[in-house]
Amino acid sequence: MADRMQWSDIPPAARALIEARFGAVTPGETASAGLTAGVACSAQTGKGPVHIKAGPVDGPSAAQYGRERAAADLLPPDAPAPRLLWAEDVDGWHVLVHEYLPGRPADLSPGSPDITPVLRALRADFGVGGEHVATVKLAPMLQKAARFLVSPLGDTPVLRSCREIMDGWDPATLPGETFTHGDVHPGNLHATEDGVRLLDWGLSCAAPTWFDTAGLVLRLIAAGHTPAQAETLAAEIPAWAAAPERDVARYVAVMTGFAAWAAARGPERHRGRRAVTAAAGAAWLAVRA
């Protein structure tokens, strides 16, 4: 578990530069503690509300700050994402200031009016480029899952199936066709008056065109949809039609195995949520494998 830092933890030199650019800062709501260490808070400034992220350049989340900063250069101007207003490395810290978007996490439950704007957001063009998905996300998750699946806790019929599907697979063989968000879940799907915006591009990567849609399907199942219902919704995103069956099954196996590991051995505060994801992956794998 990463303890969330506060505005006051940012080095004085960095805070001074932010205020020199945006005016006096009154920190607002801090994001709840999560897996990413560092500062993540809204703030009122002389130029209006902003969202501030910051963390040490040698900290555990440094790579994610770097990817989020790079995303601003890769995303098209009309992408459904908050604009990066300013970024700098100051006194050993990464500092990013984004526009503040009023809103709330999207509701993915069956019948939710948020689902249509979520699908619209994922149909957008995010451009090309970024580190490969194997490096950013899938290879590290596969390694944790694989170790867990040979432990006594991983010896269940579903997880044995995951192990068989993952066996010998190298995620580096996936194409890096498009720039993707890489971490689609309700907390990053931000419902605003103007539609859904994707927050937190710290796991953004070059991946197959279907990758973010697969992430959405998993979250739809976790929110109460059947796998068939979730895939019917996914079919409204053109890239889903071309998703190779075997690669999707491998993706589901990795996500399920990793979520099972995290539910058993990850940060305690997130274990319940991870267990829900693992169950959703198991339900999807039952019809995909």
pLDDT of residue 4: 74
What's the one-letter identity of residue 257? G
Please state, as a whole number, how many other Cβ atoms lie within 10 Å of the Cβ of residue 45.
Answer: 18
pLDDT of residue 101: 96
* Spatial separation of the C-alpha atoms in residues 147 and 131, rounded to whole Å: 25
What is the residue extent of each domain of the chain?
4-100, 105-288
pLDDT of residue 3: 64
∠186-255-252 over CA atoms, to 5°?
105
Q: Give 263's contacts (C-beta < 8 A, 6+ positions apart).
A: 271, 272, 274, 275, 277, 278
What's the one-letter identity of residue 139? A
- What CATH number labels 105-288? 3.90.1200
pLDDT of residue 151: 93
Positive or negative CA dihedral for 218, 216, 66, 91? negative
Closest CA to 253 of 137, 159, 133: 159
Q: Which CATH class is domain 4-100?
A: alpha beta
Task: Give the tens place of pLDDT for each residue, 126-156.
Answer: 999 999 999 999 999 999 999 999 999 999 9
Any bridge partners for residue 132, and if so which?
A: 206
What's the one-letter identity of residue 9? D
Q: Cα–chain-centroid distance for residue 250?
A: 19
Entry pTM: 0.94
Positive or negative CA dihedral for 37, 277, 71, 24? negative
Q: What is the DSSP letter of 270?
A: G
Closest CA to 112 of 32, 199, 216: 216
Helix axes 211-222, 115-122, angle to 10 degrees: 160
Which residues in the chain come in under a pLDDT of 70? 1-3, 32-36, 289
What's the one-letter identity of residue 282? A
